[in-house]
Chain A
Amino acid sequence: MKATRVFQLTALALVVVAAVQVGWWLYDQHAYTVEKVLAARDAYREQSAAAQALLAAGVSAQRVHELLPGIVVRDGRAVLAAEIEQALKSEERHRDNQYAWEGSFFLLALALCIAVIARALRAEARVHEEQESFLALVSHQFKTPLASLQLSLETLALRAPPPQGARPLIERMLADLARMELMVTQILESARLERGRVELRPEALPLAAAVARVLAQLEERARQERIVLTCDIAAGLCVQSDPLALDVVLRNVLENALAAVQAAGGGRIEVQARAANGEVQLTVRDSGVGFRAADGARLFEKFTRLHASAGHYGTGLGLFIVRRMMELAHGRVSAHSAGVGQGAQLELTWPAAAAAPAAAAQVGTS
């Protein structure tokens, strides 16, 4: 912040000094021109005096004009030719104009350069600030599982419980470690996404198969938590997306829904998809804890955790990653809820793909 201030003041001083210099230069050039034009006029005045003397000595006007081409004789008097008078005046104006243009061009170029540098510096400062606050948030996020780990270990040390009493503590510690590991993975993922270092290779992917794959991994947990999963996606529906990105997005969204329903003590999750206007829209509807309508946009920001309920171990990065991945895939994501306890609905929209990969391959070989 302080460095920017110094830069601003330096740039201002530079512009002021340059403007004063250009002003002085303009004045100097103008004075020089005026001086030269005056000298030229003096020379012509001497010529016309000489011509006048020649006329007085009886030399013909014709002869005088031949000897002194800048002089014409009008009504018996030697005067400066009109075009020369005109040329002198226009030369003065021309030079003033030229210097004015050159001066302003110089100032403009200088101001432009300073503006470009200032912009770059500001952008850099913003990135730096974002990184700082990201770091602060990350370290803050780590402190809770760390505190839990330390508490469990110190409880073990202080109370020396029998093996069956130590079991839940050990399970808690393992879960805390798993949570920290997930956080490290997601933080690295989101940092890569932020810097745009993720290369996506979009291709046509059948949506139903991708969803089924993720759901299969969540089935066991859902059954234990009394959560009914239903999925209704037409087999031919394909989206244009990177396979890994699609998997990350679906996993995060479905795990989020699972946690929300789990926090509500069980319920159901419905997954549906439909194609419209060259897009494919996937809707994940859950009967979970929901959120206040006003929090719908905040949900996709970094480290937003709206659920305080037992059993939910979000890192606050899942939906942020989803949003960035969807943006990179030229898609959209939005979340809606009628309120706390009213369930929630998440909509993912991708550009539709023309055909399934298998069909595309057939077209290619035929």
Chain B
Amino acid sequence: MPAAAHVLVVEDDPHLAAGVVENLRAEGYEVSTAADGVQALEWLAAHACGLIVLDVMLPGMDGFGVCRTLREQGNTTPVLFLTARGDPADRVRGLEAGGDDYLAKPFHLQEFLLRVRAILRRWDWYRSASATAATAVLRFGGNEVDFRVFRARSWNGEAQELTEKEAMILKVLAEHAGEIVSREDLLERVWGYDVFPSTRTVDNFILRLRKRFEKDPASPRHFLTVWGVGYRFLGEDGP
């Protein structure tokens, strides 16, 4: 898919932008640039790309604001934040704003390229795993999930907007329906090699999925906990 290999770099420092762009091009990606948040949003309104490398400290609207705006507009393009502030609070803010990954300046070139590759690979998998009519829509226990548009209708007829992470976790579980999937596997598949959230994060996402799709979240029939290991997804009503 050509769109997946297109990266938008939003960075106000010309030197840093040039360095990032040259390296991404050398790796075979198609690259576009924007010098501030408004320019980036304008570009994204007319174009699609597979990844946005987004500086946090931008003049005018900052990177968090750009990411939030995108998510509100329903744009699910993955975002890799670059920032001069590397403290945990800032990191959390980035993830809250809807970012996929976070890299503090100054960063290592190899690590940066690795992360770009990891994010694109995750999304490649997700997209190809949701490409056919059979895999795009998941039906279980009266719920219907459309992976392509991150929307679902739950058993009681309620419309649900899924976050990317929720959709990805559901995708992984559905691909292995009936099998045990460990928390570590889920982290690896959905968050990538950089395991910054704890396995507790996975538990929280499962709780959210249960709330959306289980008739009785307290005694789940689809998202079953396998104590000490992980989770098992049952498409049909379980025992």
Contact = CB atoms under 8 A, between A and B. Distances in A.
Interface of A: 140, 143-152, 154-155, 158-159, 172, 175-176, 305-312
A158 B12 CA distance: 24
Contacts of A150: 106-109
B179 interface: no
A341 to B, nearest CB: 13
A151 B16 contact: yes
Interface string B54-68: 000111100000000
B23 A176 contact: no
B13 interface: yes
8 closest A-B pairs by CB: A147-B106, A147-B105, A154-B109, A143-B84, A151-B19, A148-B15, A308-B36, A308-B12
A143 B106 contact: yes
Interface string B1-33: 000000000001111101110110010000000
Contacts of B117: none
Contacts of B35: 308-310
Contact of A144 (B13, B20, B22, B26): B13
Contacts of B219: none
Given A155-B23, A172-B18, A308-B60, A143 B105 contact: yes
Interface residues of B, number: 25
Nearest to B35: A308
A175 B15 contact: yes
A144 B16 contact: yes
B188 to A, nearest CB: 26
14 contacts: A143-B84, A147-B105, A147-B107, A150-B108, A150-B109, A151-B19, A152-B15, A152-B19, A155-B22, A172-B19, A308-B36, A308-B58, A308-B59, A308-B60
Contacts of B20: 151
Nearest to B17: A310
A145 B58 contact: no
Contact of A148 (B13, B58, B60): B13
Given A145-B15, A151-B20, A176-B15, A306 B106 contact: no
B14 A155 contact: no
A360 B35 CA distance: 53
Nearest to A159: B26
Contact of A154 (B13, B18, B110): B110
A143 B56 CA distance: 13
Contact of A146 (B19, B23, B85, B106): B106
A75 B22 CA distance: 124
B210 to A, nearest CB: 42
B183 to A, nearest CB: 34
Contacts, number: 68
A155 B109 contact: yes
A320 B51 CA distance: 38
A176 B57 CA distance: 18
B16 A148 contact: yes
Given A140-B85, A148-B19, A308-B59, 13 more contacts: A143-B105, A147-B106, A147-B107, A151-B19, A155-B19, A155-B109, A158-B23, A158-B110, A172-B19, A176-B15, A306-B59, A308-B35, A308-B58
Nearest to B38: A308
B32 to A, nearest CB: 15
A94 B20 CA distance: 87
A78 B49 CA distance: 118
A325 to B, nearest CB: 25
A143 B104 CA distance: 9
A71 B112 CA distance: 109
A306 to B, nearest CB: 6
Interface in B53-107: 57-60, 84-85, 105-107
Contact of B59 (A172, A305, A311): A305
A143 B20 CA distance: 15
B230 to A, nearest CB: 38
Contacts of A305: 59
B58 A146 contact: no
Contacts of B14: 310-312
A147 B106 CA distance: 4
A144 B57 CA distance: 10
A308 B55 CA distance: 12
A288 to B, nearest CB: 15
A308 B207 CA distance: 43
A235 B15 CA distance: 42
A308 B26 CA distance: 25
A309 B39 CA distance: 11
Contacts of B12: 308
A147 B18 CA distance: 12
Nearest to A165: B22
Contacts of B106: 143, 146-147, 149-151
Contacts of A154: 108-110
A147 B109 CA distance: 10
B102 to A, nearest CB: 14
A294 to B, nearest CB: 12
Contacts of A155: 19, 22-23, 109
B200 to A, nearest CB: 31
Contacts of B109: 150-151, 154-155, 158
A43 to B, nearest CB: 81
Contacts of B108: 150, 154
A176 B14 CA distance: 11
Nearest to B37: A308
A150 B103 CA distance: 14
A147 B59 contact: no
